[in-house]
Amino acid sequence: MSEQHGKPWHLETSLVHAGERAAAPRATPIVTPIYTATTYLYPSLAELDAAFADGDSYLYTRYGNPTVAALEAAVAAAEGARGAVAYGSGMAALHAALLAAATPRGETAPRPHAILAARDLYGSSTVLLEELFAARGVRVAYADLCDLQATEAAMAELRPELLLVEQISNPLLRVADIGGLAALCKAGGARLVVDSTITTPVLQRPLALGADLVVHSATKYLSGHGDAAGGVVAARTGMLHASLVRQSRLLGASLGPFEAQQILRGMKTLALRVERQCASAAVVAAFLADHPAVARVYYPGLAAHPAHALAAASFGGRFGGLVSLELRGAAPAVAAFVDRLRLFLPATSLGDLYSLVSVPAIASHRELDAAARVARGISDSLVRLSVGIEALEDLLADLAQALKREVGSQ
């Protein structure tokens, strides 16, 4: 297309239009291209109208984008979901999941009255519940959702529309019995929303156990390379998926195509990375548990962990890639330990192929006040390690040198 009505275009027109809108190649690209187009053409107004009417055709990127759809299909397949919707961050995904799960069956408008959440949640998830739900009149209560009896009692009192839990919690690595919680939700007419950011579908697929929605911060293990932020919600039923899709068009917190491609690419090695991270984390946890400078290690793979048996039965012999610990000594010792580490990067994230270290009191749980942190068992001396895919020997040597000098200085 370089002319109109037999007349060649002027340079300005040609610069804008020439080369664009060729027919798609007959051969299929081996990976999904990054579709940057924000809007789509149809041959006639009647066909555009039909595309609007069918609800499935590409029209405008907030309504759907082929690169983002490829990621959504990959997550839905990984989670055994009827469908998935991707968002600009894990927090956007969590917000959307809570709105969708709180929509009473048979209605379309979100109308949450009561949410029962785990006391052990990523700090910003708790703040989201407080500032976007409790502050608007939703009754939000917290309980130990790792304790089924306590959960049942809290449900009887609150009668929540939904429960929110992290399968392995951030940062104390507590383990929830998803099948048990799903049974309670079924009996109590509530929906179960599971944040699977830390477990990933490699360890467990909560929808198969009866959960309704699975949330991921795709910024973490799914992407895995520390270079893309995103979130995804996977739905067990077509109805919940449809409600997420409708909401997403209104919330507009959609994921961009560049990030979608990076996360999709990251997911191809998810199983390999997670297997390696879990294997290394198990050795790191055992090493720390034996070290005189370490007061306590939190890791579901250790026999001393209160939910070790549940984790062993649930996660196919893997226990996750995070290890939390408390050092002997107070805050200055923690700072010295973190500052001495060379391979564990002191950056606030988890799940990357780089090993990371963070202090929840000043990072992931900073937004909670000190009393709320203490109530959740998060001390100022708690350190969270996210084990990467580096050589295990190098990781152990890094920890040993950082801890050794600590012992010497005590």
User: Min. distance of Cβ 40 from ligand PLP in angstroms?
Assistant: 28
Q: Which residues have C-beta within 8 Å of that of residue 77, sequence separation ≥ 6?
A: none
Q: Active site residue: 120, 177, 195, 398, which one?
A: 195
- Tokens 């990030």 locate to 259
217 vs 324, which CB is nearer to ligand PLP?
Answer: 217
Nearer to ligand PLP, 182 or 233 (CB): 233
- Tell me whether residue 62 is one of the annotated catalytic residues: yes
Question: What DSSP string describes 74-126?
Answer: HHHHHHT-SEEEEESSHHHHHHHHHHHHTS-TT--S----EEEEESS--HHHH
DSSP 379: -
Cβ atoms of residues 214 and 56 within 8 Å: no
In the complex with ligand PLP, the residue whose CB is nearer, 97 or 235, is 97
Question: What CA–CA distance (Å, rounded) separates 119 from 172?
Answer: 11
Q: Would you mind telling me the total number of residues written for the chain in this entry?
A: 410
Provide CB contacts within 8 A for 370, sequence distance 6+.
Answer: none
- Asked whether the beta carbons of 119 and 231 are under 8 A apart, the reply is no
Q: How many helices (H) and strands (E) does the chain have?
A: 15, 13
State which residue has the least CB distance to ligand PLP.
90
Whole-angstrom Cα distance, residue 284 to residue 277? 10
The catalytically annotated residue of 40, 42, 62, 82 is: 62
89 lines the binding site for ligand PLP (CB under 6 A): yes
Please work out the total of residues on this chain that contact ligand PLP, with binding judged by CB under 6 A: 16
Query: Minimum Å distance from CB 299 to ligand PLP?
Result: 17
Residue 72 near ligand PLP by CB under 6 A: no
Q: Could you say which of 119, 205, 220, 376 is catalytic?
A: 220
Smallest gap, in angstroms, from Cβ of residue 151 to ligand PLP?
Answer: 19
Check if 142 is active-site.
no
For 300, the token pair is 């579901």
Exactly one of 71, 84, 85, 91 binds ligand PLP (CB under 6 A); that residue is 91
Told to check if 368 binds ligand PLP by CB under 6 A, we report no
* Nearer to ligand PLP among residue 160 and residue 226 (C-beta): 226
168-227 positions binding ligand PLP, by CB under 6 A: 170, 195, 197-198, 217, 219
Of the candidates 283, 265, 280, 301, the residue with the CA atom closest to the CA atom of residue 390: 280
Region of 44-52, 88-96, 372-380, 389-397 interacting with ligand PLP (CB under 6 A): 88-96
Stretch that binds ligand PLP, among 14-22, 62-70, 90-98, 285-293 (CB under 6 A): 90-98
Q: Which of residues 250-269 bind ligand PLP (CB under 6 A)?
A: none
**Does residue 195 have an active-site annotation?**
yes
Sequence-distant (6+) residues with CB within 8 A of 25 are none
Binding segment for ligand PLP (CB under 6 A), chosen from 85-93, 99-107, 235-243, 334-342, is 85-93
Comparing CA positions, the residue from 230, 195, 245 lying closest to residue 71 is: 230
Q: For strands 382-386 and 356-358, give the pairing.
A: antiparallel
Q: Which is nearer to ligand PLP, 72 or 406 (CB)?
A: 72
Q: Figure out which of the listed residues 72, 120, 166, 212 binds ligand PLP, where binding follows CB under 6 A.
A: 166
The three-state secondary structure class of 410 is coil
Which of 201, 231, 257, 388 binds ligand PLP (CB under 6 A)? It is 231
Question: Which residues are within 8 A (CB) of 262 and not within 5 positions of it... i.e. 6 or more apart?
Answer: 223, 225, 227, 228
What SS3 state is found at 250?
helix
Provide the minimum distance between the beta carbon of 121 and ligand PLP in the complex, in angstroms, as a whole number. 7
In whole angstroms, how close is the CB of 196 to ligand PLP at the nearest point? 9
The catalytically annotated residue of 35, 87, 122, 354 is 122
In a 13 Å sphere around the CA of 311, the CA atoms on its Cβ side amount to 24
In angstroms, the CA 195 to CA 317 distance is 20
Interface with ligand PLP (CB under 6 A), residue from 32, 95, 122, 314: 122
Q: What is the DSSP string of 25-42?
A: PSSPPSS------SB---
User: Which range touches ligand PLP (CB under 6 A), out of 89-97, 131-139, 253-261, 316-324?
Assistant: 89-97
Q: How near is the Cβ of 89 to ligand PLP at its closest, in Å? A: 3
ω before 25 within 30° of 0 (cis)?
Answer: no
Between 221 and 287, CB nearer to ligand PLP: 221
What is the set of active-site residues? 62, 122, 195, 220
Residue ranges binding ligand PLP (CB under 6 A): 89-91, 94, 122, 125, 166, 170, 195, 197-198, 217, 219, 229, 231, 364
